Amino acid sequence: MAPGNSSRVTEFILLGLSEKRELQIFFFTFFSLIYTMVLLGNLLIIVTVRTDPKLSSPMYFFLCHLSFIDICCSSVICPRLLVDLLSQRKTIAFEGCIAQMFFLHFAGVAEMFLLTVMAYDRYTAICKPLHYPTIMSQQVCWALVVACWAGGFLHSVVHTLLTVQLPFCGPNTIHNYFCDVPLVIQLACTDLYGTKWLMASNSGLISLVCFLVLVTSYLFILVAIRIHFSEGYCKALSTCTSHMVVVTLFLVPCIFIYLHPSSAFPSNKHICMIYTVFSPMLNPLIYTLRNKEVKASMWRLWKSCRV
């Protein structure tokens, strides 16, 4: 029981992805592979950027932090998921549930803000190239990263405080494989109308605003390139499209789940897999395999390790 909470519930039961043992073994193998790819792919990006002086531009600075956030997001969910897939009784303590929600929203919202910052960085580099070194100085880059983490922390604190103050007297079954705010607050023994709308404005609107800002920034980039650099338009369109695929896979499910205060239903767990599991795996693929500089740096790093 959480201190200061009148709840009689001390643990929650996670229903997970499936009750069939065969499917649980399959899911364990599948998600073990996915989590390994997330860790190795994002760690490779961090090591490559940190060890190659040629990758010192703000774009790679932000990419390195994006990889770190992806590792954090995935590590909040996947290890617990893998343990539960091998367990007969999938329970999580009240305190553990609150901690999982806190760190997931902390890292998740920080990633939303960082993706927005990365789009602004690309917009500045392409549309204002002469002023780019001044606008995106090292001090500004660090300030933006700190602001992303601070924004994620403030958002998560608000969610956590709203949740721990609710009375939980049963039932305690969560139709998901992790503790998420919409499903957890549904179990509270009180009127949730105001709480759900406040949480929707806190999470849903952040997701929606970040998505709209990202789409707008990429449209400005494509318009600027088409007007001034028509020969590079197709390449820029391809790059922006791939980036928007990653952004869409991450933000659109968040908008769907968190913007509507009554959208908590069991099938949401399949939507949650998109931004909690698959998006952290796709980021290193999209942002690096299409980048010749990063691939060249990785190749140099590989050759230096073999010597």
Residue 24 pLDDT:
87
Sheet strands (E) in 46-202: 91-93, 173-174
The mean pLDDT value for 117-125 works out to 87
- What pLDDT is recorded for position 181? 83
User: What is the domain count for the chain?
Assistant: 1
Over the chain, what is the mean pLDDT?
82
The per-residue pLDDT for 1 is 43
Give the model's confidence band at 99: pLDDT under 50 very low, under 70 low, under 90 confident, else very high.
very high
Residue 202 and residue 206: Cα distance in Å, rounded? 6
pLDDT at 112: 92
Instruction: Examine residue 241 and state whether it is found in any structural domain, yes or no.
Output: yes
What is the model's pLDDT at position 266? Answer: 53
- What tokens does 165 get? 């103050």
Spatial distance between the Cα atoms of 34 and 71, rounded to a whole number of angstroms: 12
DSSP state letter for 130: T
| R_g of the chain computed on alpha carbons | 21
Average pLDDT score over residue span 127-140: 88
H or E stretch at 13: strand 11-14
pTM given for the model: 0.87
- Tell me how crowded residue 89 is: count the other CB atoms within 10 A of its CB: 7
pLDDT > 70 fraction of the chain, expressed in percent and rounded: 89
Task: Please name the residue that has the structure tokens 């197709």.
Answer: 234
6 Cβ contact partners less than 8 Å away, ≥ 6 residues apart = 167
User: What percent of the residues of the chain are helix, what percent strand, and what percent coil, each to the nearest 5?
Assistant: 75, 5, 20
- Please tell me the predicted confidence (pLDDT) of residue 3: 44
**Mean pLDDT lowest among 41-55, 72-86, 96-110:** 41-55
**What is the reported pLDDT for 157?**
92
Q: What is the pLDDT of residue 142?
A: 95
pLDDT confidence tier of residue 234, bands split at 50, 70 and 90 = low
**How many CA atoms does the CB half-sphere of 3 hold within 13 Å?**
0
CA 218/CA 74 separation, integer angstroms: 27
96 pLDDT above the threshold of 70: yes
- CATH of residue 182's domain is 1.20.1070.10
Domain membership of residue 6 (yes or no) is no
HSE of 81, CA atoms in CB hemisphere, 13 A? 29
Residue in the structure block whose two tokens are 């767990």 = 269
Q: What digits encode the pLDDT tens for the residues 3-52? A: 444 447 788 888 878 778 888 889 899 999 999 999 998 998 898 888 88
Average pLDDT rounded to a whole number, residues 63-85: 91
pLDDT at residue 111, as a whole number? 93
For the packed helices 138-164 and 193-228, what is the interaxial angle rounded to 10 degrees? 160
Quick one: pLDDT at residue 87?
82
Predicted pLDDT at 5: 45
Structural domain range at position 288: 11-296
The arithmetic mean of pLDDT across residues 243-268, rounded, is 75
192-221: per-residue pLDDT in tens? 777 777 777 777 888 889 999 988 888 888
Give domain status of residue 137, yes or no: yes
Query: Tokens 């995935």 — which residue?
Result: 74
Distances (CA, A) of 279 to 37, 38, 87, 225, 251: 12, 9, 26, 28, 10
Give me the mean pLDDT over the 151-161 stretch. 91
More confident position, 56 or 115: 115
With respect to residue 3, please indicate whether it lies within any of the assigned structural domains: no
Respond yes or no on whether the N-terminal peptide bond of residue 284 is cis (omega within 30° of 0): no
230 has pLDDT over 90: no
Q: 307 lies in a domain?
A: no
Q: How far apart are CA 186 and CA 181, in angstroms?
A: 9
Contact assessment for residue 221 and residue 240, using Cβ atoms and an 8 Å cutoff: yes
Residue 257 lies in a domain: yes
- Does residue 72 lie within any of the structural domains? yes
Q: Is residue 2 part of a domain?
A: no
**Consecutive H or E run containing 12:** strand 11-14
Kind of pairing, strands 11-14 and 91-93? Answer: antiparallel
Angstrom distance (rounded) from CA 38 to CA 16: 21
Rounded to whole angstroms, how far apart are CA atoms 97 and 179? 6
For 222-248, what is the mean pLDDT?
69
